Amino acid sequence: KGHPTKPAEGFAKAQGVRVEELETVTTEKGDYLCAVRRQKGEKTAVVLRGRIPNLIRSLSFMKSMRWGSSSLRFVRPIHWILALFGGEVIPFRIDRIESGDLTYGHRFMHSGGFKVRGFDDYLKKLRKASVIVDEEERKGMIDKGI
């Protein structure tokens, strides 16, 4: 409204917009200037590809270990990483482990790996491979067996 103040000019400059582009927002505490910027987002798979390896590395446990010459510390050995989004593999690598669409069932009750296309497929195929993902269902099965 009227001529911009020096703080408004400084705020606009700091936000990378012209003073005329600033908008007024009314709150309980009064009117404030704000800058609305639209930024085109990246595809989810691209964001995940860049973040999952660091996320895995950042997980901390009271006791963790390394295997062989690997620099990765984790609570248990990581033998494979299943990483899918929208039915497509999110490709990345941690040390010598490459992500993919391959996973495995129960190590004693099912042999060999199998490819997965999505979450429902994952649940169905793991069940066939003697792995019950849902904790409550697994507890119920154990209770019935006792």
Average pLDDT, the chain: 93
DSSP H or E stretch at residue 143:
helix 135-145
- What is the number of structural domains in the chain? 1
Q: What is the pLDDT of residue 42?
A: 93
Question: What are the structure tokens assigned to 70, written together?
Answer: 């690997």
Q: Does 8 map to a domain?
A: yes
- Higher per-residue confidence, 108 vs 37: 108
Identify the sign of the CA torsion 86, 89, 92, 97.
Answer: positive
86 falls within a domain: no
Is 55 buried (19+), middle (13-18) or exposed (0-12) by CB count in 10 A?
A: exposed
* Whole-angstrom distance, CA of residue 45 vs CA of residue 39: 18
Q: What is the Cα–Cα distance from 106 to 126, expressed in whole angstroms?
A: 8
Per-residue pLDDT, 3: 82
**In sequence order, what are the residues at sequence separation of 6 or more whose Cβ sits closer than 8 angstroms to the Cβ of residue 1?**
24
* 77 belongs to a structural domain: no
Q: In whole angstroms, what is the distance from residue 9 CA to residue 20 CA?
A: 10
**Residue linked to tokens 């997980």:** 59
**For residue 139, pLDDT beyond 70:** yes
Domain assignment present for residue 67? The answer is no
Indicate whether 27 belongs to any domain: yes
Q: How confident is the model at residue 71 (pLDDT cuts 50, 70, 90)?
A: confident
pTM: 0.69
Q: What is the pLDDT of residue 39?
A: 84
> Does 1 score more than 60 pLDDT?
no
- What is the residue range of 21's domain? 1-39
Nearest-angstrom CA–CA distance, 73 and 64: 6
**For the chain, what percent of residues have pLDDT higher than 90?**
85
Specify if 26 maps to a domain: yes
Residues 84-112 have pLDDT tens digits of 999 999 999 998 899 999 999 999 999 99
Q: What pLDDT, on a 0 to 100 scale, did the predictor assign at position 110?
A: 93
**What pLDDT score was predicted for residue 19?**
93
The residue count of the chain comes to 146
Cα-based angle 77, 104, 85 (whole degrees, multiple of 5): 90
Higher pLDDT, 96 or 122: 122
